[in-house]
A = this chain, B = another copy of it.
Amino acid sequence: MTHIRPYTQVLDRLRNAALRPTRQRLALARILFEHGDRHLTAEHLHTEALQAGIRVSLATVYNTLHQFTAAGLLREIVVDAGRSYFDTNTSVHHHFFNERTGVLEDIPGGDIVVDRLPAAPPGMTIKRVDVIVRIDR
């Protein structure tokens, strides 16, 4: 019996993405993927890592977030000019964004339906549809 067991799932994710499971990547992946759906900025993740006693630089956090996004493990959400959020839920869904608190959260279920979507302009393809519901108070 080893302590490798709990890491297995996260390790596999990294392996499948052809990313070496370095100490930093593994630790960041566990913070990201072992706690359900999360919406984090680079700063958030860096802070959490440091609080968990993981020595990792902010540059590496950025690198890792982009590598994970490129590998399809994360989705980048733009709601705020000035910073990026990364969402651990990569399936098709939409978001509530509270501009006052900066909290971004999933809209539950497949609730929203976007209808009568026009065709993309000639020669273009629709890559993604983002719906941001901005909430207040």
Residues of B near A127 (CB, < 8 A) are 99, 134-136
Q: What is the CA–CA distance of A111 and B107 in the complex, to the nearest angstrom?
A: 23
Q: Is the CB of A111 within 8 A of B118?
A: yes
The answer, yes or no, to whether A14 is at the interface (CB within 8 Å) is no
Q: Is the CB of B128 within 8 A of A130?
A: no
Interface size class of A (residues with CB under 8 A): 35 or more
**How far apart are A94's CB and chain B's nearest CB, in angstroms?**
9
What number of copies of this chain does the assembly contain? 2
Q: What is the CA–CA distance of A111 and B114 in the complex, to the nearest angstrom?
A: 10
Residues of B near A114 (CB, < 8 A) are 112-115, 131
Interface residues of A in 76-112 (CB under 8 A from B): 76, 78-84, 96, 98-99, 105, 107-109, 111-112
Residues of B near A79 (CB, < 8 A) are 78
The closest CB in chain B to the CB of A95 belongs to B130
Point out which of A80, A81, A108, A118 has the most chain B C-beta atoms below 10 A from its C-beta. A81
**How far apart are A98's CB and chain B's nearest CB, in angstroms?**
7
Q: Is the CB of B134 within 8 A of A132?
A: no
CB<8 Å pairs between A and B, sample of 16: A78-B78, A78-B81, A98-B124, A109-B118, A112-B117, A114-B115, A114-B131, A123-B137, A124-B135, A124-B136, A125-B136, A126-B133, A126-B136, A127-B134, A127-B136, A129-B134
